[in-house]
């Protein structure tokens, strides 16, 4: 799956460049700021995505939170497959999020259940979901050929 957003919000660009009074001769600094804003936004998005899914799949300390987390995981990531070992397998899709503007380095890839053997922690109270194995994000840099 591939999702795009048209451009970075104007407010983020203003926030990153505030305090700089740039002249025409400072185009290199402007280009550097444009590259930096994409990377900052991509890293922020990656962190928020991981934290959000981590919150949804964290079993917490209560039984009700553990049941909700397990139910969310079962409904969204478990696929019943009679040909798979144990009769189930995990959704292992990928989503690329990026903007349409070239060279802005705002690219985040989201991988689901990329480490199926690590989805459950083995604890003294039984197996518990491992949120970091359910979703993994990575910020990608665009390759530039000059």
Q: Give the start-to-end residue ranges of the domains of the chain.
A: 2-140
- The pLDDT assigned to 112 comes to 92
- The pLDDT assigned to 111 comes to 93
- The pLDDT assigned to 146 comes to 47
The CA distance from 45 to 40, in Å, is 9
Which residues, at least 6 apart from 115, have a Cβ–Cβ distance to it below 8 Å? 133, 136
The pTM score is 0.68
Q: Report yes or no: 90 and 77 within 8 Å, Cβ to Cβ.
A: yes
CA end-to-end span of the chain: 29
- The pLDDT assigned to 125 comes to 77
Give the mean pLDDT per block of 10 residues along the chain (146 residues): 54 58 59 72 88 82 81 90 88 86 78 90 83 88 59
């Amino acid at each position: 799956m591939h999702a795009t957003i048209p451009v970075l919000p104007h407010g983020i660009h203003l926030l990153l460049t505030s305090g700089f009074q740039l002249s025409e001769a400072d185009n290199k600094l402007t280009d550097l700021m444009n590259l930096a804003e994409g990377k900052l936004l991509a890293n922020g998005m990656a962190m928020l995505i991981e934290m959000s899914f981590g919150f949804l799949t964290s079993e917490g300390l209560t039984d009700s939170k553990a049941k909700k987390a397990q139910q969310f995981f079962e409904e969204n990531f478990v696929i019943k497959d009679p040909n798979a070992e144990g009769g189930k397998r995990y959704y292992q899709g990928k989503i690329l999020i990026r903007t349409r503007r070239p060279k802005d380095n705002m690219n985040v890839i989201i991988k689901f259940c990329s480490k199926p053997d690590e989805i459950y922690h083995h604890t003294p109270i039984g197996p518990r979901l491992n949120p970091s194995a359910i979703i993994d994000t990575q910020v990608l840099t665009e390759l530039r050929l000059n």
